[in-house]
Amino acid sequence: MAYDLKALIDDVTTVVRATPDDDARCERITPHLRRWMDGEAPLLPAKYTIPCDGKACGHLLYTDPEGEYFVISVVFPSGTSSGVHYHGAWGVIGILEGTDEETKYARETSPDDIGIGQPCELQTVDKIYSPPGTITYLKPPLEGFHRVRAAGDETGVSLHILGGTPDTHPHFFCDGDTKTLIDFPMSGIITHDPMVR
Ligand SMILES: [Fe+2]
């Protein structure tokens, strides 16, 4: 039987329930995500791999009933970018299509206490170009800031397994004008017709 998204979700749920430590969770989810990504194309129905009115967006695929994690696909038309933002909960991300350019940032001021209204003067830590098949992590507070861009000619599609729910996952945008962190609720930037219920 094919290892489909439902099978991946079953394995992720088992890992998450048994693994309170965020780093260990990310590590133990990885082989399951790898197995799913190695499956036969298309991995997702077309409606979960297209932009929203031509713009970048996410599509909700699943929310854990106990609120410990959720799964979204994220779509960036060629050349578009997320802007600099912060994730306040763990994440495992698999690149499915396109070339993902990820710039990672850190903040010198109170690097482990990050909240809305605080300054976001950041230092660039790394810039990574990832082809399809790559798996990356979000490990806040120290590795929670990033900017993602579809660097190639293709639309970028990735799968994100993230801590919390679309309503509770802390997600802050670095406002370019005020250079402060503003709330950037995940629930406001995704569609809400989950693939798996
Ligand atoms: Fe992000």
CATH code where residue 108 lies: 2.60.120.10
Residue 197 domain flag: no
Residue 34 domain flag: no
Domain that holds residue 89: 46-191
CA 168 / ligand 1 centre spacing (Å): 15
CA 87 / ligand 1 centre spacing (Å): 6
Q: What's residue 64's pLDDT?
A: 98
Residue 76 domain flag: yes
Residue 26 domain flag: no
CA 10 / ligand 1 centre spacing (Å): 24
Say if pTM beats, i.e. exceeds, 0.95.
yes
Residue 181 domain flag: yes
> Mean pLDDT for each 10-residue chunk of the chain (197 residues)?
95 98 98 98 97 97 98 97 97 98 96 96 96 97 96 97 98 96 97 97
Question: For 191, what's the count of Cα atoms within 13 Å in the CB-facing half-sphere?
Answer: 19
CA 186 / ligand 1 centre spacing (Å): 10
Q: What's residue 1's pLDDT?
A: 77
Residue 14 domain flag: no
Query: How many domains are contained in the chain?
Result: 1
Residue 58 near residue 186 (C-beta atoms within 8 A): yes
Residue 153 domain flag: yes
Token readout for 53 is: 């009115």
Q: What's residue 141's pLDDT?
A: 96
Residue 19 domain flag: no
Amino acid at position 63, single letter: T
Distance of CA 109 to the CA centre of its chain: 24
CA distance 154 to 135: 19
